[in-house]
């Protein structure tokens, strides 16, 4: 996470954010004490912000301290490439927006699994299939609960590659593997796909509308699609599109 993300999640008092200076002082102290490691985010000009992750040499007590263990990388492993680093930070942006959105209506995130923790291997028709979503989330709002897998699309993958991912999900849902995988026996996780812009969103929803329900994609659950700007600005609003409808729905619907 970068400082702004950490500040929004952990540096609040009575609903107000602590100052950036206070957050920086604490992050500096945690880094000096060996709890955190940091690298500069690559940028075209100047110096990018620090990206913080747990240090490999951190004291053993860190995992026992409430909250700090949540600073683990959302990808569940060390991110080496600049593209991977930006991708991981964008997933954190989604997490922060969802956390704040649920909190604003009295809900909360019950379980969040990053890519490494949500990864799941299964056998289907004699083949080994690896399901690798960007995240898994279980949330609650009042007496209601919901779950979803997150696919954060950067617009760099072809529709063919997305079709391959959906075929993996198809096998997963056909075998009802989510009962053993994520443990919430009464819930069937949805699939959330966040795309970079409205053009990509339109292309993807049209493609999905022509495929869903047909042979090879009949077991898939509800798929919700929206673009990055709307999701970060208003994740709990009526911004989610289903491929088979022209109207929008909320995440809680």
What percentage of the chain exceeds 70 in pLDDT? 90
250, 236 contact by CB (below 8 A): yes
* DSSP secondary structure of 122-190: EEETTEEEEE--SEEEEEEETTEEEEEEEEE--S-S-HHHHHHHHHHHHHHHHTTTHHHHT--TT---E
Confidence band of 59 (pLDDT split at 50, 70, 90): low
| Stated pTM of the model | 0.86
Q: Helices 82-104 and 3-10 sit at what angle, rounded to 10 degrees? A: 20
120 forms beta bridges with 131
Structure-block tokens of residue 252: 């809680």
Answer yes or no: is pLDDT of 94 > 90.
yes
Answer yes or no: is pLDDT of 62 > 80.
no
193, 205 contact by CB (below 8 A): no
State the maximum Cα–Cα separation within the chain, in Å, rounded to a whole number.
57
What is the domain partition of the chain in residue ranges?
105-249
Residue-level pLDDT at 80: 56
Answer yes or no: is pLDDT of 142 > 80.
yes
Cα 130 vs. chain centroid, distance in angstroms? 18
99-131 pLDDT, tens digit per residue, is 999 999 999 999 999 999 999 999 988 889 999
- Residue count of the chain, please give it: 253
CA distance 20 to 7: 7
Answer yes or no: is pLDDT of 178 > 70.
yes
Q: Give the range among 7-11, 50-54, 65-69, 147-151 with minimum mean pLDDT.
A: 65-69
CA distance 188 to 75: 23
CA distance 109 to 102: 7
């Amino acid at each position: 996470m970068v400082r702004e993300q950490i500040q929004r999640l952990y540096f609040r008092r009575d609903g107000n954010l602590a100052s950036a200076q206070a957050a920086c002082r604490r992050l500096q102290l945690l880094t000096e004490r060996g709890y955190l490691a940091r690298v500069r985010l690559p940028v075209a000009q100047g110096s990018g912000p620090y990206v913080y992750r747990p240090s490999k040499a951190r004291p053993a007590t860190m995992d026992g301290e409430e909250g700090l263990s949540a600073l683990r990388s959302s990808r569940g492993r060390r991110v080496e490439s600049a593209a991977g680093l930006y991708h991981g930070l964008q997933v954190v942006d989604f997490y922060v927006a969802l956390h704040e959105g649920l909190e604003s209506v009295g809900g909360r995130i019950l379980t969040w699994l990053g890519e490494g923790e949500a990864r799941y291997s299964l056998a289907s028709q004699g083949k080994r299939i690896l399901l690798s979503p960007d995240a898994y989330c279980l949330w609650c709002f009042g007496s209601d609960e919901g779950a979803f897998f997150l696919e954060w699309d950067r617009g760099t993958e072809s529709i063919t590659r997305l079709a391959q991912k959906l075929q993996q999900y198809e096998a997963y849902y056909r075998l009802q593997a989510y009962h053993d995988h994520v443990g919430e026996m009464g819930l069937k996780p949805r699939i959330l796909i966040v795309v970079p812009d409205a053009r990509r969103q339109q292309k993807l929803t049209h493609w999905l509308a022509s495929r869903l329900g047909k042979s090879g994609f009949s077991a898939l659950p509800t798929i919700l699609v929206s673009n990055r700007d709307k999701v970060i600005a208003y994740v709990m609003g009526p911004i989610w599109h289903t491929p088979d409808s022209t109207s929008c729905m909320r995440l809680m619907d």
